[in-house]
Structure 1
Amino acid sequence: MLELKLRHDLSSFTLDVCFETPSGTTVLFGGSGSGKTTVINAVAGLFKPAIGRVVLDGRVLFDTDSGIWLPPHRRRIGYIFQEGRLFPHLTVEQNLLFGRFWSPKGARREDMPKIVEMLGIGPLLNRRPIALSGGEKQRVSIGRALLSSPELLLADEPLAALDQPRKEEILPYFERLRDELNIPVLYVTHSAAEVARLATSVVVLKDGKMQRQGEAADVLADASVLPTGVRAAGALIEARVKEHHQDGLSELDAGGLPLFLPRVQQAVGQSVRLRVQAHDVILSREYPEGLSALNILPGNIVKIHQGSGPGVMISLETPAGPILARVTQRSAKAMGLQTGIACHAVMKSVAIAPSNIGTTAGQPRA
């Protein structure tokens, strides 16, 4: 567990945060300039706040009241930056061994062959960083951080410098890290898709203050705290891969309801979680007929939130879990939408992008 309390006057805002993190991956979520990187730099010892306290599993790293300030190399923390920051004159294997060099004597050591296999970097060991793609550099950077035997791993927007295909390449490795290694992660991002894929818990920051802390499903359903606003709002659905069909679709079981998506990477029987964005859901009072959309989820309206604009956010409870739909006020009025009435949520199969499909935290891999 990480306990954190920080206060510092910066030029653009006053950083004033206090929270504790559970095990797993805690995501610091917020827009540019919200204080995310400042927070993890304070944890790493790269920034010293005027007032604060940082405690990792009962070990005090920083406390202004008692005058404790451990330098970065004594904090047992691995750091993954936006760029790989590999040593250009060393091979991949030598970069990895550099991480192990800083591992304290007597510390629990991660098995290097296991890390190499998990990150898929075996074929890269004899190359130098100049011969690596952006995604390969980040995988090596992750491996170097893990081999330093950290008690906590920090990741500062590690996908921000990558294009979408490279992001899709790296995300599964962070899922494996979350699920297979007993190392807590503090992960910084402004991407709702990364929150949906990776987060065990979420801390939302804005102008140096914590806006909300909670599970990913609850945070992503609250448009009022999302840095990108209402368009990022959506629901997380947990489902199990039931079958891969020959026509290129995968069938999932979501609370007893079938969901059809373009073929997913996960194996039959594996649990996944899906991010369904509210603006991709349409509603029907009656069971719809003659539609091209394959996914129809019956449910009941449990909440209607009307903002200042033309839209209305409708929350439905379905056998698959909560679903959000964003419709216009005009449509809600014409359909007579009210809490308590039955309704059907309709989703196109292709509306759920691969970046919004990930493994469920803690699930074994096939």
Structure 2
Amino acid sequence: MSIDVNLQHDLKSLRISAEFNIAEPGITALFGPSGSGKTTLVNMIAGLMRPDQGHIQINDHVLFDGARGINVPVRQRRVGCVFQDNRLFPHMTVRDNLFYGARRNPHKLPEDEQQAVLEMLGIATLLDRRPNLLSGGEKQRVTLGRALLANPDMLLLDEPLSALDHARKQEILPYLEWLRDHRSIPILYVTHAIDEVARLADDMVVIDQGKTLATGSVFDMLGRTDLPPLAGRFDAGTVLRARIVSRDPKAEVSFLECGGQRLVVPYLGRPKNPVIRLHIRARDVMIARTPPHDISANNIIPVTITKISDEPGDAIDVTMCFGQDADAALLADTSGRPKIHARITKWSGSRLKLHLHQKVFAVIKSVTVNGQLRDQ
């Protein structure tokens, strides 16, 4: 399943000129600050707004082509949409809301798959209620179910969690993770929340002032310091894959293995599959020339400096790969070694006399590591 988007559109205060391709199923985060044009792009892909120029194509199905005069109507696009305001019909029951689009779709899901969607989202017991009797999290689950039951070729999720408080967000996130890992459907996830990107996304499209700045794997993109929406208003950081090797419920910690190193993080429970995705902000990583002793930080990782980015301002960004053997710096880009990023003051970098290929230690407090279970 491939999605090809190349669009130009003039708004009163912004010119949209965005181009990206989604080659595989999974979640692609469309990330950028408020006002960067993300929702406008979603509206054009969904067919709610006509672009001035460009094209939108899902596999061999052309949804829009300005040069050829093609503009497929909304109902024929097979694009499921979930917005931050759930847009449920207040006069209908949950059941009628859920199947509103499916009834008009000739490509219906089989009944067993329909039931699987209801059970997966935990909404089978809500069918006879009206939307005004649902919590915010329940409303978003119903909205997501409505989109899935229409059997779309693609899902557009436009800031689906932004109207929810922290508890309701935590309620919805596991369902989005399940979609990413179990449904073979491309999902474009619009957000300006970097923690949601780190937890959910496989790939990332960075947009600012209407223009596509960069695209790529989330594991690479979150470490880049040359992108204004990431390095300026938001934090660069690291997303790592790790595996749970043991747990200590009494001490409320879990022990992980990543790149041959042990990491200690807050307790993660007992998942069926012990694969973990870690998000570590660059500003939460300290650098030491020698391994520190008698400190509260549990994670002291031997690393080798592979890049030092001296950007304008009072900070530098240091990229390090796991390991301190003689070839670590040379093999960093080809050996699959995990990398970690640190943001420190220029004064600290000068005081430590940091330089390329230097063997140092990355120091990380356990409580700063955001670990999310991933079933894969």
Which band: TM-score by shorter chain? over 0.9
Amino acid at match of 1:18: E
1:344 corresponds to 2:361 = yes
1:335 corresponds to 2:352 = yes
CA distance in 1, matches of 2:367, 2:50: 47
CA distance in 1, matches of 2:161, 2:364: 28
The answer (yes or no) to whether the contact 1:220–1:226 under 8 Å persists in 2 is no
Of residues 211, 231, 242, the one that matches 2:245 is 242
Which SS does the other structure have where 1:27 is aligned?
A: strand
> Which residue of 1 is the match for residue 235 of structure 2?
232
> Which residue of 2 is the match for residue 303 of structure 1?
307
Amino acid at match of 2:120: M
Q: How many pairs are equivalent?
A: 359
Change (3 A) 1:163 1:226: farther
Which SS does the other structure have where 1:116 is aligned?
A: helix
CA distance in 2, matches of 1:186, 1:110: 26
Per-residue CA shift, 1:220-278, capped at 9, x if unaligned?
11233252534511011110122221211111111222211111246164211111001
* Runs of 5+ unmatched residues, structure 2: 324-336
CA distance in 2, matches of 1:348, 1:82: 34
CA distance in 1, matches of 2:347, 2:227: 25
1:283 corresponds to 2:287 = yes
Per-residue CA shift, 1:73-98, capped at 9, x if unaligned?
00011000111111112222222122
Cα deviation for residue 358 of structure 1 reads 2.9
Per-residue CA shift, 1:138-175, capped at 9, x if unaligned?
11100000000100000001011111221121111111
TM-score normalised over the length of structure 1: 0.94
The answer (yes or no) to whether the contact 1:29–1:204 under 8 Å persists in 2 is yes
> Which residue of 2 is the match for residue 57 of structure 1?
59
CA distance in 1, matches of 2:112, 2:358: 54
> Which residue of 1 is the match for residue 157 of structure 2?
155
Which SS does the other structure have where 2:92 is aligned?
A: coil
Per-residue CA shift, 1:313-343, capped at 9, x if unaligned?
1111015711111111111111111111111
Which SS does the other structure have where 2:349 is aligned?
A: helix
> Which residue of 2 is the match for residue 145 of structure 1?
147
More deviation in 271-280 or 95-104?
95-104
TM-score normalised over the length of structure 2: 0.91
CA distance in 2, matches of 1:146, 1:111: 10
CA distance in 1, matches of 2:107, 2:366: 52
Cα deviation for residue 359 of structure 1 reads 4.1
Which SS does the other structure have where 2:100 is aligned?
A: helix
Change (3 A) 1:59 1:26: same
More deviation in 343-352 or 118-127?
118-127
Change (3 A) 1:108 1:127: closer
* Runs of 5+ unmatched residues, structure 1: none
The answer (yes or no) to whether the contact 2:289–2:360 under 8 Å persists in 1 is yes
More deviation in 79-88 or 108-117?
108-117
> Which residue of 2 is the match for residue 173 of structure 1?
175
The answer (yes or no) to whether the contact 1:46–1:72 under 8 Å persists in 2 is yes
1:136 corresponds to 2:123 = no
Amino acid at match of 2:180: R
Alignment of 1:15-34 (within 5 A): 15-23=16-24, 24-34=26-36
Runs of 4+ in 1 over 4 A off after TM superposition: 105-110
> Which residue of 2 is the match for residue 271 of structure 1?
275
Which SS does the other structure have where 1:258 is aligned?
A: strand
Per-residue CA shift, 1:104-159, capped at 9, x if unaligned?
24677771221112112233223221111111111110000000010000000101
> Which residue of 2 is the match for residue 70 of structure 1?
72
Change (3 A) 1:125 1:40: same
Change (3 A) 1:84 1:301: same
More deviation in 108-117 or 282-291?
108-117
CA distance in 2, matches of 1:243, 1:81: 39
Which SS does the other structure have where 2:226 is aligned?
A: helix
Cα deviation for residue 208 of structure 1 reads 0.8
Change (3 A) 1:22 1:92: same
Amino acid at match of 1:334: R
Cα deviation for residue 47 of structure 1 reads 0.5
- In angstroms, what is the RMSD of aligned CA positions? 1.7
The answer (yes or no) to whether the contact 1:108–1:149 under 8 Å persists in 2 is no
Which SS does the other structure have where 2:21 is aligned?
A: strand
Which SS does the other structure have where 1:237 is aligned?
A: strand
